[in-house]
Amino acid sequence: MSSTEKDPSRRIVVTGMGAVTPLGLDVASTWESAVAGRSGAGPLDRFDASRLTVQLAAQLPGVPEVDVPVKEARRFDPVVRYGLAASAEALRDSGLELSDDNRTGIGVSIGSGIGGIGTIIENHDILRESGPRRVSPFTIPMGIANMPSGYVSIHYGLGGPNLCHVSACASGAHAIGECAELIARGQAKVMLAGGVDAAILGVTVAGFAAMKALSTRNDEPERASRPFDRDRDGFVLGEGAGVLVLESLAHARARGARVRAEILGYGADADGSQMVAPDPAGTGAARCMRLALEQAGLEPSRIDHVNAHATSTPTGDPCEVRALEQVFGKHLQQLPVSATKSMTGHLLGAAGAVEGILTIRALEEGLLPPTINLEHPDPECQLDHVANKARRSPIRTALSNSFGFGGTNCSVIFGRVDD
């Protein structure tokens, strides 16, 4: 069944978006930087990284503002601040007016791969150096992964489902897909869905570096993230949040909301292969994309654009290309593919949500963001790359992929809604 034939109460649309990323502290500046091909990576200056092999990261360009008393905000782990800031922008963008009549039908699901790890590490150090009496009573509340969702729900007095999907780098994308299903089943009227992570810390950088997962191009951080390039040597660790306001098309029309895009299809599965490396054959990722296409009722040839997971790791990028080849066949030769992590770095649990936002902006503008630093395409990664410069293209449907440790896969298909 095509989207135009579906019951409007089961067609799920996006009416608001908010983001804080290494490219900007809102959606507009993030999008502007992305289409300009700017890198959000730079020297890691948040702490002394001189002993680390990796001394670069994609850090936020500032501290996001939140409408919370200063004393209360001081208790926040950055994941809570980032999630709240992105949610506030998404709600403003949606034009949704909160009232006693609608709050119980509005829920929140902001996924996170690692949660408030900074708070946990800080208080572990306090315990070791100063003893248990100095440990903060906010250690556990700010350390748990669901507190961004929880705090947003509390801040706005929302009584709908309050969830947190913890599925590594697919967390934000899973939140979008699962929230769409919740609304279609009638279990919520509106959902704030997305992802957040704030893991640029000594132990996480050292841990990823120990796995040989991070780029060590310390002398040229802005050129370090280079998906699909022959000379890639790992991803650039980033941070941020992305939140989307989801509701049924019927609900959006009833309140006169601007519809930014429709969620046409959602696929989720697992490789069942290895702990951190993707299935070399790309079988699970291919199956995941097919599940999304099946739900959307679309043939592969109907997809006009792909925002790839493409982290810039030597092993991961070719696996995704193999999966794309399995799904799209000859159509892949004329299917433009962007890898926006080349600019944002890898935002972990926030990646899928932020990339979903960039995919929607591409649909709205007919402008495909580039894959920067693509100087020598890997022979194993032959695609219609949107290389180094944004490309005009009047696209109607786009697929966004998100894959994560533990073999988890997620694909979301977004489409234009012109009526």
Q: Per residue in 343-393, pLDDT tens?
A: 999 999 999 999 999 999 999 999 999 999 999 999 999 999 999 999 999
Burial class of residue 333 (count of CB atoms within 10 Å of its CB; 0-12, 13-18, 19+): exposed
**By percentage, how much of the chain surpasses pLDDT 90?**
95
pLDDT at 174 over 90: yes
Task: Assess whether the region 13-254 and the region 265-415 belong to the same CATH fold.
Answer: yes
Q: Using DSSP bridges, classify how beta strands 367-368 and 56-57 pair: parallel, antiparallel or unpaired.
A: unpaired
pLDDT at 419 over 70: no
pLDDT digits (tens, 9 = 90+) for 182-203: 999 999 999 999 999 999 999 9
Torsion of CA 227, 22, 91, 251, to 10 degrees: 0
pLDDT digits (tens, 9 = 90+) for 247-271: 999 999 999 999 999 999 999 999 9
How many Å apart are CA 381 and CA 346, to the nearest integer?
A: 19
pLDDT digits (tens, 9 = 90+) for 204-219: 999 999 999 999 999 9
- The pLDDT of residue 1 is 43
CATH of domain 13-254: 3.40.47.10
Angle, alpha carbons 258-261-266 (nearest 5°):
145
Of residues 276 and 408, more confidently modeled: 408
How many Å apart are CA 395 and CA 355, to the nearest integer?
A: 16
For residue 272, what pLDDT band results from cuts at 50, 70 and 90?
A: confident
First to last CA, the chain: 18
Domain ranges of the chain: 13-254, 265-415
What residues are annotated to the active site? Answer: 169, 309, 346
- Residues with Cβ within 8 Å of residue 122, at least 6 apart in sequence: none
Is-contact 17 193, C-beta < 8 A?
Answer: no
Token couple for 123: 């208080």
How many Å apart are CA 376 and CA 229, to the nearest integer?
A: 5
Tokens 């592969």 -> residue:
300
pLDDT at 5 over 80: no
E strand or H helix that includes residue 73 = helix 70-73
For residue 124, what pLDDT band results from cuts at 50, 70 and 90?
A: very high
Token couple for 217: 């191009």
Q: Using DSSP bridges, classify how beta strands 240-248 and 261-270 pair: parallel, antiparallel or unpaired.
A: unpaired
| Half-sphere exposure for 164 (CA within 13 Å, toward CB) | 24
- The pLDDT of residue 6 is 75
Segment 136-144 shows an average pLDDT of 96
For residue 96, what pLDDT band results from cuts at 50, 70 and 90?
A: very high
- Residues with Cβ within 8 Å of residue 151, at least 6 apart in sequence: 76, 80, 83, 84
- The pLDDT of residue 275 is 85
Is-contact 193 165, C-beta < 8 A?
Answer: no
The torsion angles phi and psi of 170, rounded to 5 degrees, stand at -100, 5
pLDDT digits (tens, 9 = 90+) for 304-340: 999 999 999 999 999 999 999 999 999 999 999 999 9
Fold of 265-415: Peroxisomal Thiolase; Chain A, domain 1 (3.40.47)
